[in-house]
Structure formats: structure tokens, C-alpha cells
Amino acid sequence: MALETLLVEREGPVGVVTLNRPKALNALSRTLLTELSGVIAALAADDEVRAVVIVGAGDRAFAAGADISELNTLDPAGAKRHAESAQAIFEALERMGKPSIAAVHGYCLGGGCELAMACTLRIASETAQFGQPEIDLGLMPGFGGSQRLVRLVGRGRALALLLGGHRIGAEEAERIGLVNKVVPAADLRGQAMALADTLAAKAPLAVRYILDAVYTGADLALPQANELEAALFGMSVATADAKEGTRAFLEKRKAEFQGK
């Protein structure tokens, strides 16, 4: 499939998706979101892809938000559909069953920040700037930002960012838990790929069960969440990889996981 707004590459078991509208600071247009939806489905379905890295093209931005020129023309019903559609795409990314890493440089604003938050982990270059500036457009986030930001950094910090609309640098983003790690600009891609390779080498079914336990469990009361964990733990024990992992430990050798 020829893509207009994304580049998709494979580096071993890692799928690398580049948001590729650098002249518009990789703003998330409808076309980009539609293409992203198809790419996520394809990466999710490909068993040889064990982890995904998302980056922004150019030297200025991961993504500077939803495309404001398109937002400008929406009526209320259309805006609701637009939000629901983008939310479904980001949920598909979050629930792909394999880890995704946002490798963030430059502006990571609005929908760009919402996309990064839908990834499993975030690595930021020292140059990265995060924010939810919708309030300064007289708007609010619509791609899950008012919900994922609260879950990642807590209600007080999320409200300060959502209502303030200001930008924060990479170090503050790390301090409040919005990003997992800050690295020098020149190391961003290398470190994101190294982390993706590390995750790609883990037992994929155990990875899937952990993601399911964390994301599904977050929406349940603790007793039900623990029940879910026990059920998934039982499933993890039933895998060939669990037999191999425990046997390899006892035999003092490195485990060879097969994804079974």
C-alpha cells in the first residue's frame, strides 16, 4: 500500500513508523490517522513484528498536534466522530498486544502528545517539548489526552497541563512520569531501537498478557483486576516459552523463546 503521510520500515523484529509530514510539523491529518489505522492493524497481525517504534520526520517535531486546518471546519457532530475515530485508532495501538515506543524529539503537542501517551513507553530527546495546548485554541483534547494524561501523571499535574496549555521540557516530562527516559538528541533513535530490540526478545505471549493485565486491569476494581491477573498468569504458565524460560534458568543457560 502506498502511503502519503507515513513511512513504515522493518528492522529485524521491530516495525518503525515515521510520521512524515515535516512541513506541517507532522500534524495528524485525517489522511495520516487513516493510514496509521491500517499500519497498526498490519503490524498487530504480523507475528514477526515484536515491537513498534514511532518517530517524527524532520528535525523539529514528533507531532505538533491534530491538523488545525481540519479542526477549523468541523461541526459538533463531525468533531465527535473525528474524536471517536482517532480514539479508536489510539486504542488499537495501545491494545496491539505488543509494545510500542514513542521516540520523541522537538514538539510533541496536542494530538502528538496523545499519540505518544497511547504508546507503551516514551523515550524523549533533550529537545522534546510536551504539552496539551488545545485550551489556547478554545478547545480541549479529543484523542484521549484528558484521560491518558491523568492516568500517567496524576490528576493534579494533568489538570495543570490541560488547563495551562503551556509546554514542558523533556526533563520535567521525565520527572512527572510522562516519559520513561531522556537521552541526548543524537542517541534518540539508537536508544529507542535498542529498547525495542530488548522487548522484542522477550517471550511474546508473556508480553501480551502483561499488557492485557495492565491495561484491562486499570479499568477494574482491585479484586477483579487480581482475578484477571491470576487467569493470565495461568495462561502464561501454560506456554512453551514458560517451560523453556524456567528450564533455561535451572540449566543456567539463556532461554530461547519461540512465541508459543
Least gap, CB of 110 to ligand COA (angstroms): 3
Which of 134, 172, 174, 227 is the catalytic position?
A: 134
Q: Rule CB under 6 A: is residue 35 a binding residue for ligand COA?
A: no
- Site for ligand COA contains 115 (CB under 6 A): no
Site for ligand COA contains 65 (CB under 6 A): yes
Q: Choose the binding region for ligand COA from 36-44, 74-82, 131-139, 236-244 (rule: CB under 6 A).
A: 131-139
- Which residue from 58, 66, 55 is spatially nearest to 23, judged by alpha carbons? 58
Q: Does 67 bind ligand COA (CB under 6 A)?
A: yes
Q: How many CA atoms lie within 13 A of 99 on its CB side?
A: 24
Q: Which of 107, 130, 209, 257 binds ligand COA (CB under 6 A)?
A: 107
Closest to ligand COA by CB, 65 or 204: 65
Shortest gap between Cβ of 109 and ligand COA (angstroms)? 4
Q: Which is nearer to ligand COA, 50 or 167 (CB)?
A: 167
Among 69, 224, 246, 258, binds ligand COA (CB under 6 A): 69
- Please tell me the distance from the alpha carbon of residue 228 to that of residue 181, in angstroms, as a whole number: 30
Q: Pull the grid cell for residue 79.
A: 468533531
93 binds ligand COA (CB under 6 A): no
Nearest distance, CB of residue 65 and ligand COA, angstroms: 3
Among the listed residues 68, 83, 159, 235, the single contact to ligand COA using CB under 6 A: 68
Q: How far is the CB of 229 from ligand COA (least distance, A)?
A: 37
Query: Of these, 43, 49, 130, 134, which contacts ligand COA (CB under 6 A)?
Result: 134
Instruction: Examine the residue annotation and report whether 251 is marked as an active-site residue of this protein.
Output: no
Stretch that binds ligand COA, among 49-57, 129-137, 147-155, 225-233 (CB under 6 A): 129-137
Q: Give the active site residue among 35, 114, 174, 229.
A: 114
The residue range among 9-17, 48-56, 132-140, 187-195 that interacts with ligand COA, by the rule CB under 6 A, is: 132-140
Spatial distance between the Cα atoms of 39 and 22, rounded to a whole number of angstroms:
19
DSSP structure string for the chain? ---SSEEEEEETTEEEEEE--GGGTT-B-HHHHHHHHHHHHHHHH-TT--EEEEEESSSSEEE--B-HHHHTT--HHHHHHHHHHHHHHHHHHHTSSS-EEEEE-SEEETHHHHHHHHSSEEEEETT-EEE-GGGGGT----SSHHHHHHHHH-HHHHHHHHHH---EEHHHHHHTTS-SEEE-GGGHHHHHHHHHHHHHTS-HHHHHHHHHHHHHHTTS-HHHHHHHHHHHHHHHHTSHHHHHHHHHHHTTS-------
**114 is a catalytic site residue:** yes
126, 183 in Cβ contact below 8 A?
yes
Residue ranges that bind ligand COA, judged by CB under 6 A: 24-25, 27, 64-69, 107, 109-111, 133-134, 137
Q: Give the active site residues.
A: 114, 134
